[in-house]
Amino acid sequence: MTTLSDRQAIGRDLVRREGGLKVTGTAPYADDAEVDSPVFCRLLLSPTARGRVTGIEVPEVPGLLTVLRAGSAEKLTSTGDDELAVLQDTSIAFRGQIIGAVIAETSEAAREAARLARVACTEEPQDTAFSPDRDDLYKPEKVNAGYPTDTAQGDLDAAMRTADVTVERTYTTATYHNNPMEPHSTTALWDGENLLLWESTQGVHPVRETVTEVFGLAPERVRVVSPHVGGGFGSKGAAHANVIVAAMAARALPGRPVRLALTRREMFSLVGYRTRTVMRTRLASSADGVLSGVGMDVVAPTSKVTEFAEQAGVPTRMMYAAPHRATSHRLAALDVPVPTWMRAPGECPGMFGNEVAMDELAEELGVDPIELRVRNEPAVDPASGKPYSSRGLVACLRSGAERFGWSGRRRHRVGDWLVGTGVASSVYPAFRMPHSTAHLRYADGRYVVSIGAADLGTGTWTALAQIAADGLGVPVELVEARIGDTDQPYASVAGGSSGISTWGSAIVEAARAFREKHGTEPPDGAEATGEIGSNPAQGQYAMYAFGAQFAEVHVHADTGEIRVPRLFGMFAAGRIVNPRTARSQLIGGMTMGLSMALHETSVLDPRFGHVVTQDFADYHVATCADAYRVEADWIDEHDRHVNPMGTKGIGEIGIVGTAAAIVNAAHHATGARIRDLPLTLDKLLPHLP
């Protein structure tokens, strides 16, 4: 354990500073923005997956102010991104697309008008059924996060032919919809020449960039404010069409603030989702468990409107050593809503395939699954050839095994329940975005650090104050962070688990500049700014956080009912700024992984092209009753290369590997190997003793 000096703020488990506001319901979210006499906007969505809107009739409901219609709405300046070119013409590209909006004096009147609206449209044959065997699969130019689509080293086919043992299997993950607690909401106001948006977003500056481009406005004319966000998981990482409609509605009613809050149902077609993936994995091994080849070929759907390629094959490129490697991604473009980021895009589904395959290989070889992973630990990153800035996988596997009680594991039975345990690795890149700027000001004995960052409910308000306090060498109680407003300096999106690493680096730089300029006894009004570019060490090192997840699974021998009484995750994610909020991120990710493993699945009806599971009755997200003991811890890791704080990001790695650990444990308990998520009892029942 590191001993902390009394003054050091990083590493202290401080309570979140805005917690009081949140638990008393007084933290202002986007839909709570205090404005004078707001009006209310409700959307009209396409009832068909492909065709044309031929008419929209809205009756004269009392309080109705105006109607926006596809084809006759305000012309946008930039329509380069089809997802955002909303209402620009009458074509329908997916079911649940925005084709109109009504704005009324009250929320009730808007709902009533939307309910009574009559939409006429033509229907054309639509294509929404995904299959990996379609003959129109195509190779995207790159996959999400800019990775190459395909990679190959050596000759994997030859390695598969000559290996002692091979595993070649196909795994599938379901469609998952981001369901943050707070639905996407906007309060928009055109005030003279200026647009003011209170927005629920992962990045106020990125939203401003999008809105200024779409409407052709100078940046200084748009302000985006977002002090509190009730989760996003990627779906609030970029502005979607609803934000554009809210701004259009405000422009149609100048001086009147417009509120547009999506309903839960609308979120199932408008704000993105994680696509299904079909992953063919290949492992070639010697009899003693040394890999000679690894491969993954991914097929997934995307939308014809805007391409998104889930990079599920990417973690296979770097995870384990082997001279022969190959990965590929192919897509089927369908008449479906636009997919997007969802917590650990790429790594989350990819490591399901990867880590269940490793479990299958371990079983085939008769080698302990942890030992198999240790034997294939690479000396350098197999994808890039660069050394790792730090790689804590083996430490996580070993110390996690100790803590979980892995050794001597045996399948057994307790009453009617079959009991087993499973393990899987976690990984997530340690990203730092290329730009962010922080500003520091001292007055009346207090320091204020301003940066247009976002707190999605993760603890950013608190953690950034901790980083600033250590940078300045002052007690954290004297430091206040101000975030969530484009009036503050530019901050990158809270995405790719890069927030603390990026914004914190800018804050450390601002603190350094402040001390250099003003010394330790600054005058009132002393200020300094810190701006960062890319991390130069990124070219020299492969930077990743790692983890090991352990699950205990009970399966009822007669009914197939599945319970997960224990999940334990051990992580190596650099320095932990605040153990309290970090633990909450990690166990939150693991709980979402449990939900992915056992419950969540969006069912698309290919006859009509819509997701039929559009609410929390049909789309079950794990609740407290589903999550028993979910625990996380971490090893002390000091990585000097990632950034000045030594942090690696913890928002996403918690979900990576959880589903594989659970599926592997269910196999240990029952002998049944389920390769298609979610793991539901109907899949296990035929295999039970």
- Within 205-244, the residues that bind ligand MOS by CB under 6 A are 233-234, 237
CB of 202 to ligand MOS, least distance (A): 6
Site for ligand MOS (CB under 6 A): which residue of 100, 495, 593, 649?
495
For 218, other C-beta atoms within 10 Å of its C-beta total 9
Question: In Å, how far are 79, 85, 248, 254, 549 from 214, measured between CA atoms?
Answer: 7, 8, 11, 18, 43
Site for ligand MOS contains 346 (CB under 6 A): no
Instruction: Pick the closer one to ligand MOS by CB: 11 or 350.
Output: 350
Instruction: Pick the closer one to ligand MOS by CB: 58 or 342.
Output: 342
Site for ligand MOS contains 183 (CB under 6 A): no
CB of 645 to ligand MOS, least distance (A): 19
Site for ligand MOS contains 345 (CB under 6 A): yes
Instruction: Pick the closer one to ligand MOS by CB: 392 or 649.
Output: 649
Instruction: Pick the closer one to ligand MOS by CB: 237 or 420.
Output: 237
Site for ligand MOS contains 341 (CB under 6 A): yes
Total residues interacting with ligand MOS, rule: CB under 6 A: 11
Answer for the pair 643, 505: CB distance below 8 angstroms, yes or no. yes
Site for ligand MOS contains 339 (CB under 6 A): no
Answer for the pair 467, 460: CB distance below 8 angstroms, yes or no. no
CB of 341 to ligand MOS, least distance (A): 4
- Within 507-566, the residues that bind ligand MOS by CB under 6 A are none
Of 369, 375, 449, 447, the C-alpha closest to 404 is: 369
With tokens 């995307």, the residue in question is: 302
Instruction: Pick the closer one to ligand MOS by CB: 353 or 649.
Output: 649
CA distance 393 to 383: 17
CB of 494 to ligand MOS, least distance (A): 7
CA distance 297 to 481: 45
Burial (CB count within 10 angstroms: exposed 0-12, middle 13-18, buried 19+), residue 34: exposed
CA distance 454 to 502: 12
Of 76, 96, 94, 95, the C-alpha closest to 86 is: 76
Instruction: Pick the closer one to ligand MOS by CB: 76 or 318.
Output: 318
Instruction: Pick the closer one to ligand MOS by CB: 272 or 609.
Output: 272
CB of 203 to ligand MOS, least distance (A): 9
Q: Is 355 a catalytic residue?
A: no
Cα-to-chain-centroid distance, residue 432 = 16
CA distance 245 to 236: 16
**Which residue type, as a one-letter code, is found at position 242?**
N
Site for ligand MOS contains 289 (CB under 6 A): no
Annotated catalytic residue within 209, 360, 552, 652: 652
Site for ligand MOS contains 496 (CB under 6 A): yes
CB of 540 to ligand MOS, least distance (A): 24
Nearest residue to ligand MOS by CB is: 234
CB of 519 to ligand MOS, least distance (A): 39
Strands 165-173 and 277-285: antiparallel
User: Would you please indicate which residues are annotated as catalytic (active-site) residues?
Assistant: 652
List of residues contacting ligand MOS (CB under 6 A)? 202, 233-234, 237, 341-343, 345, 495-496, 652
